[in-house]
């Protein structure tokens, strides 16, 4: 069995946002076992799995990424879409555009402290489209 759905995530401010609940509420009944792939269709935002309990992890992620990949660098050529655009593309490439999670007993088999993050790297990124592919028996 393969199912695919597309989910629209409303515009979020710049930062790292837990979207696990939003994803789960949009899913059909999951198979007994399988895998799910969650893919974001954008080049200036990313997805990752990380800490789902302490919100300071998400704010620290934002600080670290802004320190590693600063805006307004004189050596950037791609600047027509704003000071945050090229850094957003680089950050997105570092984290990636999809996560794959096992399905066990009709549920995402995430660790106790794992959640799905939408990593919004633009100041005004707008809504984001996510494709979820479910593969299972």
- pLDDT tens figures, 105-127: 999 999 999 999 999 999 999 99
Task: Provide the residue range defining the domain that includes 18.
Answer: 2-136
CB 21 within 8 A of CB 134: no
Give me the sheet containing 2-9, strands edge to edge: 2-9, 128-136, 33-40, 98-104, 107-108
Q: What is the pLDDT of residues 25-46, one digit of tens each?
A: 999 999 999 999 999 999 999 9
Output the six-digit token pair for 122.
């633009």
Helices (H), the chain: 20-26, 55-68, 85-95
Count of other CB atoms within 10 angstroms of residue 75: 4
Instruction: Tokens 């198979």: give the residue.
Output: 31
Query: How many structural domains compose the chain?
Result: 1
Residue 99 to residue 48: CA distance in whole angstroms: 6
List pLDDT tens digits, range 43-67: 999 999 999 999 999 999 999 999 9
Q: CATH number, domain at 81?
A: 2.60.120.460
């Amino acid at each position: 069995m393969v199912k695919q759905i597309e989910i629209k995530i409303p515009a979020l401010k710049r930062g790292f946002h837990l979207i696990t609940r939003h994803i789960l509420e949009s899913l059909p009944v999951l198979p007994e076992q399988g895998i799910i792939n969650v893919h974001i269709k954008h080049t200036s935002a990313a997805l990752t799995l990380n800490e789902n309990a302490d919100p300071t992890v998400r704010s620290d992620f934002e600080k670290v990424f802004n320190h590693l990949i600063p805006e307004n660098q004189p050596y950037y050529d791609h600047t027509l879409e704003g000071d945050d655009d090229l850094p957003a593309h680089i950050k997105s490439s570092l984290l990636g555009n999809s996560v794959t999670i096992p399905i066990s007993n009709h549920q995402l088999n995430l660790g106790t402290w794992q959640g799905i993050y939408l990593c919004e790297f633009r100041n005004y990124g707008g809504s984001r489209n996510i494709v979820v592919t479910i593969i299972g028996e």
